[in-house]
């Protein structure tokens, strides 16, 4: 199993206005808060030229755009068309390997061990 790749995508403000995306993002839980919060988000996104959308990376090499899942709903996939993507940052979870038995097989044990 591969570690989850978390992603933070800086998205152009126009994305919220395209094809009802604000409604879709609200319904799936990618954007939380009440109606006032969403209005503030849209205003802030317009003022700053975009907004950050985080989640779990599903596909980043797709020709149409980047696919992400909201962190609390990994069974849902959202495609952000490349024309709206300004930057992408990813991070992988570090999975620690578990060692059972002797950590240094073949190492000589000293009498103190």
Residue 67 falls inside a structural domain? yes
For the entire predicted model, the pTM comes to: 0.69
Q: Tell me the residue range of the domain where 38 lies.
A: 5-92
Split into its structural domains, the chain has a count of 1
pLDDT tens readout for residues 50-95 = 888 888 999 888 889 999 988 778 788 888 999 999 999 988 866 5
Q: How many C-beta atoms surround the C-beta of residue 88 within 10 A?
A: 15
In the sheet with 78-81, reading across from the earlier edge strand, the strands are 78-81, 65-69, 50-59, 5-12, 85-92
> Is there a domain that residue 104 lies in?
no
In a domain, 61, yes or no: yes
Q: What percentage of the chain carries pLDDT values higher than 90?
A: 14
């Amino acid at each position: 199993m591969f570690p989850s790749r978390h992603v933070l995508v800086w998205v152009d403000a126009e994305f919220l206005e395209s094809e009802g995306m604000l409604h879709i993002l609200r319904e799936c839980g990618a954007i939380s808060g009440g109606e006032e919060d969403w209005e503030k988000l849209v205003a802030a996104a317009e003022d700053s030229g975009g907004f950050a959308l985080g989640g779990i990376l599903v596909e980043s090499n797709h020709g149409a755009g980047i696919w992400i899942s909201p962190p609390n709903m990994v069974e849902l996939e959202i495609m952000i068309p490349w024309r709206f993507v300004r930057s992408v940052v990813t991070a992988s979870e570090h999975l620690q390997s578990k060692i059972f038995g002797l950590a240094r097989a073949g190492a000589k044990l000293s009498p103190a061990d």
